[in-house]
Amino acid sequence: MADIEAATADYAARARAENTRRAYRADWVHFAAWCARYGASPLPADPRLVARYLSAHAGPGPEQLKVSTLRRRLSAIQHVHREAGLDFDSRQRDLRDVWSGIRRTHGTQPAAKAPTVTEELRALLEPLGTERLLDLRDRALLLVGFAGCYRRSELVALDVAHLARHRDGLVIATPRSKTDQEGEGIEKGIPFGVHAETCPVSALTRWLEAAGIADGPVFREVTRHGRVQPRRLSDRAVALVVKRSVEAARRVALQRGQWGLAETFDPRRYAGHSLRAGFITSAAAAGVPTHDIMRQSDHKREETLRRYIRHATVFRQNAAAKVGL
């Protein structure tokens, strides 16, 4: 029975993704430390105390947090109370009104990273060489990440065993994704590219062959001396690859006197999500039907795509361009 109880507790703990559990732990530590500063009890927490905590970190100042972060902090507080078997009334009037006021005042729209559309992706690939293992890996990562519309965690989780050759390209089995928490698996087709320099299948094949990777993780660390490590990349490394490539493309644009393009390539505006956002934006701009985009992006709701599609069609379907100005 002791083993069964331990297994039951373990499965219950796995109800949330590890990233969520890690974030909740950090959120609770932050809230508990704030409570200790003022001699208040974090558990159980008075909803009015939580309202003051949110207010303290919503306004301008060194401790200001984004609304999205505060939302997660509130969820973490509720989660810890629930795990401790304690009631926490998030609908208590003071807390409800303060939270509503924070969202109305500071907004809830996240600061989205710039999408890496097809034309920009070509510019990111141009500075990459054809011999260095690091360049081969980055080229494959950028192209597969874009063509597969992968989330960072999905991209670095790929193993060689997930790849299957097809006459039209590659079929990649994604073992688990954000929208497939049960682990049923999703297959994505990565077609051959029209242009040799931007073909994701060729780029991935060359990386694996040059690195001598026959099994295990697809995308791995490469030392500054060009040695491939057995460890897979972390999801944060995807953002670093994107930012490094953006900075290289910016240098090339400056050398050519392309000032406008150089200004666009600001590494602070780009992150790992830029590849996924760029694919959706490029596909929408090309007139690809929404259901086909969703099949590749693995979105379950069409509403989620709307902000990408609005960005892609802001000039293509612009009424101001049709009134004769």
The b-or-e profile of 118-147 (16+ CB within 10 A means b, else e) is: eebbebbbebbeeeebbbbbbbbbbbbbbb
pTM: 0.69
Please state whether beta strands 220-222 and 186-191 pair in parallel, antiparallel, or not at all (unpaired).
unpaired
Distance CA 116, CA 244 (A): 13
Please give the pLDDT value at position 180: 46
Q: How far apart are the first and last CA of the chain?
A: 78
Q: Is the pLDDT of residue 80 over 80?
A: yes
What is the predicted pLDDT for the residue at 174? 79
Which pair of structure tokens corresponds to residue 260? 């406008």
Is 79 catalytic? The answer is no
Selected catalytic residue, list 151, 188, 220, 250: 151
Q: Is 188 a catalytic residue?
A: no
Is 178 a residue of the active site?
A: yes
Annotated active-site residue 311? The verdict is: no
Listed in sequence order, the residues at least 6 apart from 212 whose beta carbon sits closer than 8 Å to its beta carbon are 228
pLDDT of residue 62: 75
Looking at residues 148-157, what average pLDDT do you find?
A: 92
pLDDT at 279 over 80: yes
Average pLDDT (63-72) is 87
- Please report the pLDDT score of residue 183 as a whole number: 53
Say yes or no to pLDDT of 48 above 90: yes
**Mean of pLDDT values over 66-73:** 89
Contact between residue 290 and residue 309 where contact means Cβ atoms under 8 Å apart: yes
The per-residue DSSP string of 194-239 comes to SSGGG-HHHHHHHHHHHHT--SSBSSEEE-TTSPEEEEEPPHHHHH
pLDDT the model gives residue 52: 94
Which residue of the set 25, 165, 178, 256 is catalytic?
178
Of the candidate ranges 19-33, 109-123, 198-212, 290-304, the one whose mean pLDDT is the lowest = 109-123
Q: Is the pLDDT of residue 159 over 70?
A: yes
**168 vs 156: CA distance, rounded Å:** 23
**How far, in Å, CA of 143 to CA of 191, rounded?**
11
In this prediction, residues 121-145 reach a mean pLDDT of: 94
Judge whether 274 and 120 are in contact, CB under 8 Å. Answer: no
The span from the CA of 204 to the CA of 212, in Å, is 12
DSSP string covering 77-106: HHHHHHHTT----TT-HHHHHHHHHHHHHH
Phi first, then psi: what are they for 177, rounded to 5°? Answer: -140, 175
Q: What is the CA radius of gyration of the chain?
A: 23
Active site residue 299: yes
Exposure of 203 by Cβ count < 10 A (0-12 exposed, 13-18 middle, 19+ buried)?
Answer: buried
Least confident span in 13-27, 91-105, 135-149: 13-27
More confident of the two residues 176 and 281: 281
291 is catalytic: no
Give the number of other CB atoms < 10 A from CB of residue 152: 21
Q: Give the separation between CA 60 and CA 104, rounded to whole angstroms.
A: 15
